[in-house]
Amino acid sequence: MSRADNHADAVPREGMNRREFLALCAAGVLPRLQRIKAAYDPGNLFHFNQSIPAAG
C-alpha cells in the first residue's frame, strides 16, 4: 500500500460530517471496520469523536 492509498493525511473540510470524513479516511475498508467494531465492541465502550461507528 502506498502513502497515497492510506489517506493518513486526510484533512476534514469545513462542513464535512463524520460519516463523510470516515469514508475519506477509510475508503474501501469502512464496512469491514464497522463489522469488526460491532463484533468486538457492541456496546460502544471504546468510543471517541473519531471512532468507527458499528455497522447497522
Please list the rounded mean pLDDT of every run of 10 residues in the chain (56 residues).
Answer: 52 74 78 89 84 75
Torsion over CA: 17, 10, 7, 41 (sign): negative
Q: What's residue 39's pLDDT?
A: 92
Q: What is the pLDDT of residue 44?
A: 87
Is the pTM of the predicted complex or chain greater than 0.95? no
Please count the structural domains in the chain. Answer: 1
Q: Pull the grid cell for residue 39.
A: 463484533
- Domain containing 8 equals 1-56
Question: Cβ distance 32 to 47 under 8 Å?
Answer: no
Name, in order, each residue with C-beta under 8 angstroms of 56's C-beta and a sequence gap of 6 or more. 38
Pair 44, 51: CB distance under 8 Å: yes
Give residues with Cβ within 8 angstroms of 4, minimum separation 6: none
